[in-house]
Amino acid sequence: MNVLTRKERTYTFLINYLGGVLTLEQSIKVTGKELFTFVCTCLGVVEYWYFGLQYETSKKRSMWVRPNTKIYSLVRKSGTPLFFLVKYFPEEIGRVNEEITLSLIYKQSKGSIVSGAIFCTPETSILLGSYTLQAEYGDWPCVDYKNLNLSSILPAAVLEQYTMTHKNWSESLRAWHKDHQGLTKKEAQLEYMRVAQYLGMYGVNYFPTKWQGNSAWLGIHPKGINIYMDNMLVPKTCLKWIFIRMVHYSCHKFIIKTVLTHTPEFVFSMKTLRMTRQVFEFSVGYHHLYLRTRSLTSIEVHKVPEDDVLDTEKFKEVSEEICQNETASAPNSMFRRFSQRFQKKTELPVLNEEEEHLI
């Protein structure tokens, strides 16, 4: 007796990445985690923790694919492609080991700077533009400065700010470009990112919120969480990961609890539950990346700036104070009032003694 097996239905997924397009035929039951793993394998990405899959909703909103989500249910109606992008930017680009990882981070950062999504001063823009020329064209004698497409090298806001001719811009770029002679493509991209990582908006994910009755922005980035009020360049409050004890949410409220016992909780009102979940996921993801780069089990241990060492000393003093205070470990009664359906808490892990000396 012949046993007929039903052929599993498949779907052709289009995944755009900064460098090309992948066409993958997968089962309609494939999850976000499975497809993401397959894409990383195809591209040769080892440092997968920096990346994620993004899609566009019917309302033209960009959303990140969750690990357990069935991908087919997201794209079958709209037919929109997926995007393999950097989701968590490294705090220090020197911690990136793989060339493909550096290249993808460089391309995405460059695109954000040129488009104006990341603010950059004219002087810094020209310096970054000179590294772009070195990375994409090589040494300065190989560049045709007369036919340069300045809009792909410098931000439009910078080009419009000054009444300079194409020749003037080209001469400024060439003057800086001469200093980079001999740098390889990888070295030029690395130097570009070493400058870009100190820009105020680098790696920051902004979310509109309400804080203390006023409109504000939450900025989640590799070093912690910022609160912006008047502008999105200078934060009013900076909370580094080392001072954050717990993050959790309940419905539209996102709550941050610090290790300082005398500091009240930071409570933010988000517009939707979906946005609240996004803020929570970015917070946990960036904190895991923060711990990964300081863990003994990471690929390579790197030196961290001195200001973080000072923060560690403060953290140890605060930790001793909390340990002596018995009431600090008691559960907060207000947590019981939160909705059991939507409540989700994450107590951020504390570094052990072996990990603390790496900070």
24-38, 59-73, 138-152, 328-342: range with lowest mean pLDDT: 328-342
Using the CB atoms, write b or e for 227-257: b if 16+ within 10 Å.
bbeeeeeebeeebbbbbbbbbbbbebbbbbb
Our CA angle for 104, 110, 113, nearest 5°, is 145
Q: pLDDT value at position 72?
A: 84
pLDDT digits (tens, 9 = 90+) for 185-223: 999 999 999 999 999 999 999 999 999 989 999 999 999
Residues in CB range of 7: below 8 A, 6 or more apart: none
Q: What is the edge-to-edge ordering of all strands in the sheet holding 62-64? A: 20-27, 10-17, 82-86, 51-56, 62-64
> Which residue in 65, 80, 86, 66 sits closest to 18, CA to CA?
86
Q: Which residues neighbour 249 within 8 Å (Cβ) at sequence distance 6 or greater?
A: 255, 276, 277, 279, 280, 342, 343, 344
What the block records as the tokens of 104 is 């993808």
The structure tokens 């996921």 sit at: 281
Do 60 and 7 contact (CB within 8 A), yes or no? no
Tell me the per-residue pLDDT of 316-325, one tens digit each, with 9 for 90 and over: 443 344 333 3
Backbone angles phi, psi at 24, to 5 degrees: -120, 130
Task: Please give the Cα distance from 267 to 280 (Å, whole number).
Answer: 13
Distance CA 95, CA 301 (A): 8
pLDDT the model gives residue 133: 94
Tell which residue, 215, 197, 199, has the closest CA to residue 207: 215
pLDDT over 70 at 346, yes or no: no
Q: Which DSSP string corresponds to 28-89?
A: TT-BHHHHHHHHHHHHT-S-GGGEEEEEE-TTS-EEEPPTTSBHHHHHTTT-PPEEEEE-S-
3-state secondary structure of 27: strand
Residue tagged 């039951």 (tokens): 29
Q: Is the pLDDT of residue 10 over 80?
A: yes
Q: Are 14 and 21 in contact (CB under 8 A)?
A: yes
Quick one: pLDDT at residue 334? 31
Give me the residue label for tokens 């087919």: 72
Give the angle subtended at the CA of 235 by the CAs of 110 and 85, to the nearest 5°: 30
Q: Which of the pair, 289 or 9, is modelled with greater confidence?
A: 289
* CA-derived radius of gyration, the chain: 23
Residues 6+ away with beta carbon under 8 Å from 222: 88, 89, 90, 91, 203, 286, 289, 290
Secondary structure (3-state) at 218 = strand
Give the range among 7-21, 267-281, 327-341 with minimum mean pLDDT: 327-341
79 pLDDT tier (thresholds 50, 70, 90): low
Q: How far apart are CA 198 and CA 305, in angstroms?
A: 13
- What is the DSSP track for 230-278? S-SSS-SEEEEGGGEEEEEEETTEEEEEES-TTSPPEEEE-S-HHHHHH
Please work out, in degrees rounded to the nearest 5, the angle formed at the alpha carbon of residue 201 by the alpha carbons of 318 and 108: 120
What mean pLDDT is reported for the chain?
81
pLDDT at 318: 39
Q: What angle do CA 98, 22, 135 make, to 5 degrees?
A: 40
* 151 CB-contact burial (10 Å; exposed 0-12 / middle 13-18 / buried 19+): exposed
Q: For residue 228, what is the enclosing H or E element? A: strand 224-228
> Does 300 score more than 70 pLDDT?
no
Confidence of residue 303 (pLDDT cuts 50, 70, 90): very low
